[in-house]
Structure 1
Amino acid sequence: MKTILAFGDSLTWGYNPETALRHEFFDRWPNVVGRALGHKVRVISEGLNGRTTAFDEDFVAADRNGARVLPTLLASHQPLDLVVIMLGTNDLKRSTGGGRVFESRQGLERLVEIVQCFPYQRGYEAPKLLLVAPPPFCETMEPDFALLFGHAVEESIHFRSAVTKVAEEYGCAMFDAGEVCETSPLDGVHLDAENTRRLGEALVGPVRELLDLGD
């Protein structure tokens, strides 16, 4: 059995823009992947609302800095065969990454370095990496989310190119979520149930290939 760590933010946690609660278990994309691949894999879902690549948000209870939390997760869940990282959305807040994809790219590079260079238990190798570019934002009339992310709708289009650049430089696989799903106009950044399922279904093929699982 192969072990996969799905490391992300609210898009991985399964935030429902209709209710502000959580999607049903099998609507969340990590569980869609796990269900499709069955006994061949174990998918560990590590999604947290508001998580950034490497930036602090000190006014919340949970530690949202992905770079600070990731080493503990790698140690806790090893041995790992694959780490899937989908982060960057929350870096575009002005209070974290300054609202630019450039800073998000730098944070993603740090996460990749952590995975590739972590001192795993003797006998365990570094896992493979799949970087998933978040889908671009869309316009929303929801006042709080418009204030948080409205300035970055155009900027979010650059997620694909930024993540592609990191993947090429560090020898990782890459997938663009924007090719298969769209954010909801209810808040401009999250996925409804259909779109998060669609993302999981689209990731089954790349994951199967990376882990050499066959058909």
Structure 2
Amino acid sequence: MSNTRTVLCYGDSLTWGYDAAAPGRHALADRWPTVLGNALREGVHVIAEGLNGRTTAYDDHLADADRNGARILPTVLHSHDPIDLVIILLGTNDMKPVVHGTAFGAVQGVERLIELVRHHAWSFDAEAPEILIVAPPAACETANAAFAAMFAGAREQSAMLASLYADLADETGCGFFDAGSVAKTTPIDGIHLDAENTRAIGRGLEPIVRVMLGL
């Protein structure tokens, strides 16, 4: 058996590395799962599982792929098990009025993801992994009319996610990290991160991930 620890980063465009300035995708070295993996070094395998537009547990009927995080998660868990730690960084896309539009809805969705991880049919009788809930940085004001309309109300609702996710983590025995404590969204579109801010999330996560993995 391998002694390598496996960390699954389950997220949306913030994990995929969406670059609002290009627009395009950040360099691999700038994406937060890469930064986290480099900081943890040998013995830890960090898997970046990011999909643009992914929600916690809701359908997006305008999407060209299945963006429902709850429906896809069991398949992803089977693809990568055994897993020692699942990092969940989701909720921003739940803020779209067409998806759900509230922080409370995102909390319910993350709670569903926690249940899926804990009740998953893990291979080889493996134990369920630890779970780290990460609150995304709050949305900010933007002059981008399309994004402002798509995420109408998101500034107020997303600002509530950190405290609500922290409460959920306490209630469910998960780890918690507020990405907004180290990173800010870009006013280019009000939602995404520039390269420095996505790198900052990887650096910020390193200490808590070390503790949760017992490194």
TM-score, normalisation: structure 2: 0.97
Deviation at 1:150, TM superposition (A): 3.6
Report the CA distance shift for 1:150/1:58 in structure 2 as closer, same or farther (over 3 A).
Answer: closer
Q: Distance in 2 between matches of 1:21 and 1:144?
A: 17
Unmatched segments (≥5 aa) in structure 2: none
Deviation at 1:161, TM superposition (A): 1.3
Deviation at 1:122, TM superposition (A): 2.9
1:73 equivalent among 33, 53, 76: 76
Q: Which amino acid in structure 2 is aligned with residue 199 of structure 1?
A: I
Q: Tell me if structure 1 keeps the 8 A contact 2:60–2:68.
A: yes
Deviation at 1:65, TM superposition (A): 0.1
* Alpha-carbon RMSD: 0.8
Q: Distance in 1 between matches of 2:89 and 2:119?
A: 19
Q: Distance in 2 between matches of 1:123 and 1:54?
A: 26
The residue number in structure 1 matching 2:41 is 38
- Runs (4+) of structure 1 exceeding 4 A deviation are none
Q: Distance in 2 between matches of 1:105 and 1:141?
A: 28
Residue-pair matches, total = 212
Alignment of 1:85-124 (within 5 A): 85-97=88-100, 99-124=101-126
2:165 equivalent among 163, 167, 171: 163
The residue number in structure 2 matching 1:18 is 21
The residue number in structure 2 matching 1:191 is 193
Q: Distance in 2 between matches of 1:84 and 1:170?
A: 14
Unmatched segments (≥5 aa) in structure 1: none
- CA deviation profile, 1:112-131 (whole Å, cap 9, x unmatched): 00001111113311000000
Q: Distance in 2 between matches of 1:149 and 1:59?
A: 14
Q: Distance in 2 between matches of 1:66 and 1:123?
A: 24
Deviation at 1:148, TM superposition (A): 1.1
Deviation at 1:20, TM superposition (A): 2.0
Q: Tell me if structure 1 keeps the 8 A contact 2:9–2:88.
A: yes
